Structure 1
Amino acid sequence: MAFVQSALGRVLAGVLAEGSASHRSIADYLMRNPMRGTALKIEEMAEGCQVSTATISRFARDIGFASYGAMRSALAETLHSAMQPVEKLRSSIARRNSALSPGQASMEYAGANLATTHGGLTQQALDDVARRISGARTVYVLGLGMSSCFASMLALHLQPFCQHVVEMAGPGGTEIAAGHLVHIGPGDVLLAFSFPRYAADVMRLAQFARKHKAGVVAITDTPSAPMVALSDHVLYASAAHGVLPSSGVATVAVIEALVVSLMVSNKANVKKAARLSEALAGYLLGSTV
């Protein structure tokens, strides 16, 4: 995440958005594999990106470097700078963990994930996704395995503010999700949760959605996550944990931040929130209705 937000990371993101097909392939490879990119020879990079060595050299010059070697050195320097705060945080947690109980250590990871996510999440990213959701004909929400609880939470929050929301899987799993996706098409949006351990079926369903011209939004943990390349928009929630496959604390925070951004994005949603409160009033404890 820190690498993506660096000056070089932003340059690569710009190429990924507007470059030629071959340049997008290289930018995507470097953003997904920055550590590997610092060690590869130009022939190995060309093979990994499925382009020629001449294309790699031209790419390096086009983004401001004298040569492939200069670009690789800048990549290493940027990655080193970006990773310093992360390594410092990991070392700090490791030192504290030696004196902490397992439960306390887990809380430390939760706090670190929230801080990392907060530092990397921009209001612009939230607004872009909120706008995409607001304009959608149908919003499909997908999460498999442990991510199914996140999908249920987001779908419940979105229902009052969207024309049509489909929670794709629920307890039924992939077969039910695929059945819901049969009708997806232009004007629809798929919101897909993908965290370690990554479910391959989420990627397959996202590919189906893209094939049928629907928008795809990923909520995942890192720029190297497999859903990133399949998505029009990505919201990152740090999910590192010392024991569990992934932590969900920051994911809940991102869900709440997205829903709040959607709710305040226009006056119509504020009115919908008021109508929802009115509709629920009779069923709440202490109501006089």
Structure 2
Amino acid sequence: MKQDVLSLIEQNYPNLSPSARSIANYLQQHPLAIVSQTSAEIAEHTHTSKATVSRFFRQLGFESQQDAKQAQLQLRQNGVPVLTQGHSIDQTAEELKNLSQTFEGLHADILNDVCAQLANASRVTLIGFRNSYPVALHFRQQLQQIRPSIRLLPQPGQTLGEDLHDILDDEVIVLFGFQRRTRVFKKIVEVLKGHQTILITDPTGQMYNQQVSQVLVCHLGNDNPFYSYAAPMSLVSMLSNRVYDLIGKNGHHRTQAISQLFNELGEME
């Protein structure tokens, strides 16, 4: 995977000619130009020529300005925060689009099956790394209020081998895997093969379809430098509510008992 154009500019800046430095200065100040402008437009803004712009990108290691643009877009697809749109993005519309695409793509029979598993399993294990960890943590907080035997992995400072070895036959594992996934993620999927594993991921995680029991796809958006986790959090909320309905009275009694403990401990306002 090629590096970010801006990082390459910084690395190569001392070796650039005066005209190439003009281009470098312009792109550092206007990074969106890398993907939104042609070589001719960059040349015009920097008072250089198309040939100079072409030489500039070749010096950075690209075949052309178009090659640099594609590399920049590919970085974004791989989860690297890179500016690819202007500042006029309608954030509300973007979030609504992510939510709509996510929920329209979920099949009712799969959701019903997943929720039944989460309600009836002897234990539920939630696994998430990096940006997936807070989503898994929130899911744990929700599920633990309505049913026992919920655990979150990895524990801080701990390895996974012991816990993955102790997975029960009727245990359900919910694996969260959003970009950018760690190298160990693929190995975890392989270790969990044969177990009841639910993968909650973005569209790129569908590559694991054949290795897990169910896949729930969330859309995170591609226009902003950073992905949005509104859709995964909303999915977790929906699953928690459905599981609560399935558990029924036992879930209600558990939430009441936990609320009573909150009061006794003085943990809540």
TM-score normalised to structure 2 length: 0.60
Q: Is the 8 A contact 1:142 1:191 kept in 2?
A: yes
1:149 is aligned to 134
Q: CA RMSD in A?
A: 2.5
Counterpart CA distance in 1 for 2:261 and 2:128 is 29
Q: Is the 8 A contact 1:142 1:202 kept in 2?
A: no
Counterpart CA distance in 2 for 1:232 and 1:129 is 9
Residue 264 (1) aligns with residue 245 (2): yes
1:183 is aligned to 166
1:252 is aligned to 233
Counterpart CA distance in 2 for 1:245 and 1:186 is 38
Where does the alignment leave 5 or more consecutive residues of structure 2 unmatched?
Answer: 1-83
Counterpart amino acid of 1:121?
L
1:130 is aligned to 115
Please state how far the C-alpha of 1:237 moved relative to its aligned partner.
1.2
Counterpart CA distance in 2 for 1:116 and 1:166 is 30
Counterpart CA distance in 2 for 1:186 and 1:277 is 32
Larger Rg: 2
Counterpart CA distance in 1 for 2:152 and 2:205 is 26
Q: Is the 8 A contact 2:206 2:215 kept in 1?
A: no
Q: Is the 8 A contact 2:178 2:205 kept in 1?
A: no
Counterpart CA distance in 2 for 1:203 and 1:169 is 15
Q: Is the 8 A contact 2:178 2:202 kept in 1?
A: yes
**Aligned positions of 1:157-168 closer than 5 A:** 157-168=142-153
CA distance change for structure 1 residues 239 and 209 in 2, over 3 Å: closer, same or farther?
Answer: same
Counterpart CA distance in 2 for 1:218 and 1:200 is 16
Please state how far the C-alpha of 1:160 moved relative to its aligned partner.
2.9
Counterpart CA distance in 1 for 2:195 and 2:116 is 15
Structure of higher RCO (CA pairs closer than 8 Å, 6+ residues apart)? 2
**Aligned positions of 1:201-280 closer than 5 A:** 201-210=184-193, 213-222=194-203, 225-244=206-225, 246-267=227-248, 268-280=250-262
2:125 is aligned to 140
Where does the alignment leave 5 or more consecutive residues of structure 1 unmatched?
Answer: 1-93
Counterpart amino acid of 2:117?
R
Counterpart amino acid of 2:208?
M
Please state how far the C-alpha of 1:177 moved relative to its aligned partner.
2.9
CA distance change for structure 1 residues 224 and 184 in 2, over 3 Å: closer, same or farther?
Answer: closer
Q: Is the 8 A contact 1:130 1:261 kept in 2?
A: yes
Please state how far the C-alpha of 1:223 moved relative to its aligned partner.
7.2
**Aligned positions of 1:73-112 closer than 5 A:** 100=88, 104-112=89-97
Q: Is the 8 A contact 1:218 1:233 kept in 2?
A: yes
Pick the structure with more helix per residue: 1
Moved more, 129-138 or 259-268: 129-138
1:42 is aligned to none
Counterpart amino acid of 1:167?
L
CA distance change for structure 1 residues 209 and 247 in 2, over 3 Å: closer, same or farther?
Answer: same
1:35 is aligned to none
Q: Is the 8 A contact 1:220 1:234 kept in 2?
A: yes
Q: Is the 8 A contact 2:124 2:172 kept in 1?
A: yes
Deviations 1:25-69 (A, max 9, x none): xxxxxxxxxxxxxxxxxxxxxxxxxxxxxxxxxxxxxxxxxxxxx
Q: Is the 8 A contact 2:124 2:151 kept in 1?
A: yes
Counterpart amino acid of 1:177?
L
SS in structure 2 of the partner of residue 206 of structure 1: helix
Please state how far the C-alpha of 1:236 moved relative to its aligned partner.
1.8
Please state how far the C-alpha of 1:139 moved relative to its aligned partner.
1.2
